[in-house]
A and B are shown apart, each in its own frame.
Chain A
């Protein structure tokens, strides 16, 4: 590459990095700036009187802490359900050729072509009847429907990546199927499964529509923010947005190695 082209290339890369990072930096400023910061004019790009107080003030608002806890519970349950249900399905898809395997793959792909969260609409009625309405468990169930197809396909590609011969070797040397899975397959697949679990967590943590439709008092953080959006002051909105972003960004960092396994063509 010539020097000029190199310069254009590097500055383009940096500009795109700034495009991603600067807005996050600015909402962080907004979150830590408090009421005074939100209405300050004109704004400065460096923090002037940022403090943790503004954020703490937000957390202490009636309902916020409860909503955050509900979000964590719903996301945790979603993680648990989607791996518990999805990993066995993924293992079946990876290791067996059986009648119906393609039908199942198709079903999973079909769920991707559907705006799944919208299916929460009729579930409100059912959930009210069986007492799941307005509970983190109910939200988690719907979120699992969102995350499960992912978990199944991701774990399928993980298990496919572990040579079948390793398992067969374990069998020949005296392991039953379950022992071989526990001693050979699981240790090798564990990091990937953890990544899939984290992804399920993020899917639930970020979901707005179903969570809003299925709760009134026991809101998740997203549902809470959505419903109080209109009447809450700007700095609270920024604080809420910032709190939503932080865990997701950390999680994405943790699973960065597995992003391609999760979204690549192989998991189509």
Chain B
């Protein structure tokens, strides 16, 4: 078991900067998700941890040991790849045993560990088969079993579920969480899927433009995004943003007076489910353009001024396209950002 320290890692490909001095500390046994859109540098950062990509500057420490200049085969990690990377010319058993065989473990130890990992991921019936005969989900299990069989100090996962269909993804997500919790492995998990990151991680590091813009537990990333980008990227529907003008530390919206840190132009952010519907006169007037019944709730999309706003309404709602409804915000749950920088303004400030 080991913690990871990323110390000012930077990476540029020619004139393109992929990572700008990223620092991150991951505690022993912690599960951290690197979340961000494609091109944000999350995969590059993971590959630098694995030694598969060279860094321009900075250090990577695993379990207190500086591994920055070590080759991937000298770092003692395990990794699950996006396309599984299950060796097609080896049986499932040989695949799962691969890392242990490379460590020259005795045959009985290998056998025990392979059986254990196979049991954990329910692939015992396929051990003698070749990967070509397996479905995508089964191959994914083999890839995870191969990684867990070596009982690694650190497990790196690069979008491991992105090639599975939606239902399988849901199933594997839950299973992965229980398996990794049990193993207590320090895990870094790269994903662009915010629900995966929310569901799995102890902490989420949201990356954008080669930087970590926020690192916090999932609920905090969701409720208190550090920037407008995080608010818009995390959560479905994304956070709504309205430009407001603060007068003496307060802003009045649809008859509601809400405290604002400082004064001047501000961006007010609120989640679609943090409002209550009211009569048009009793709140912020929203003209509903589209109504989408989702079963568990109904999604309303409309405009307030120039801003597109999405509201999560109870599925029992009778609102129809073209209606005007009033919104009442929960002052405790709104956030304010600086319009120029997009950074969140602390309510206390």
B73 near A163 (CB under 8 angstroms)?
A: no
CB of A121 within 8 Å of the partner chain? no
Report the tally of A-B residue pairs with Cβ distances under 8 A: 58
Interface positions, chain A 169-213, Cβ under 8 Å from B, are 169-176, 179, 184, 187-188
Interface size class of A (residues with CB under 8 A): 10 to 19
Q: How far apart are the CA atoms of A184 and B133 in the complex, in Å?
A: 19
A172 near B72 (CB under 8 angstroms)?
A: yes
Interface positions, chain B 72-102, Cβ under 8 Å from A, are 72-73, 75-79, 81-83, 85, 87-89, 98-99, 102
CB of B253 within 8 Å of the partner chain? no
CB of A168 within 8 Å of the partner chain? yes
CB of B135 within 8 Å of the partner chain? no
B72 near A171 (CB under 8 angstroms)?
A: yes
* Beta-carbon nearest neighbor of B102 in chain A: A174
CB of A57 within 8 Å of the partner chain? no
* Beta-carbon nearest neighbor of B52 in chain A: A168
Q: How far apart are the CA atoms of A174 and B50 in the complex, in Å?
A: 11
Q: How far apart are the CA atoms of A184 and B103 in the complex, in Å?
A: 16
Of the residues A163, A175, A179, A187, contact of B83 by C-beta under 8 Å: A163
A98 to chain B, nearest CB (A): 13
CB of B271 within 8 Å of the partner chain? no
CB of B71 within 8 Å of the partner chain? yes
Known interface pairs A165-B81, A168-B72, A168-B81; A173-B89 also in contact (CB < 8 Å): no
CB of B139 within 8 Å of the partner chain? no
CB of A166 within 8 Å of the partner chain? yes
Residue from the set B71, B72, B81, B103 with the largest chain A CB neighbour count within 10 Å: B72
Known interface pairs A171-B52, A172-B77, A176-B73; A163-B102 also in contact (CB < 8 Å): no
Known interface pairs A165-B82, A168-B72; A173-B88 also in contact (CB < 8 Å): no
Residues of B within 8 A of A169 (CB): 79, 81, 85, 87
Is the contact region of chain A dominated by helix, strand, or loop, or is it mixed?
helix
CB of B201 within 8 Å of the partner chain? no
Known interface pairs A165-B83, A168-B52, A169-B81; A175-B102 also in contact (CB < 8 Å): yes
Q: How far apart are the CA atoms of A207 and B192 in the complex, in Å?
A: 56
B73 near A168 (CB under 8 angstroms)?
A: no
B83 near A172 (CB under 8 angstroms)?
A: no
CB of B328 within 8 Å of the partner chain? no
Residues of A within 8 A of B85 (CB): 163, 165-166, 168-169
Across chains A and B, which 4 residue pairs bring their CB atoms closest together, nearest first?
A174-B102, A173-B99, A169-B85, A165-B85
- What residues of chain A have their CB less than 8 Å away from a CB belonging to chain B? 163, 165-166, 168-176, 179, 184, 187-188
- 27 CB contacts below 8 A, A to B, read A165-B81, A165-B82, A166-B85, A166-B88, A168-B50, A168-B72, A169-B79, A169-B81, A169-B87, A170-B87, A171-B51, A171-B72, A172-B51, A172-B72, A172-B73, A172-B77, A172-B156, A173-B78, A173-B146, A174-B76, A174-B99, A174-B102, A175-B73, A175-B102, A187-B89, A188-B88, A188-B89
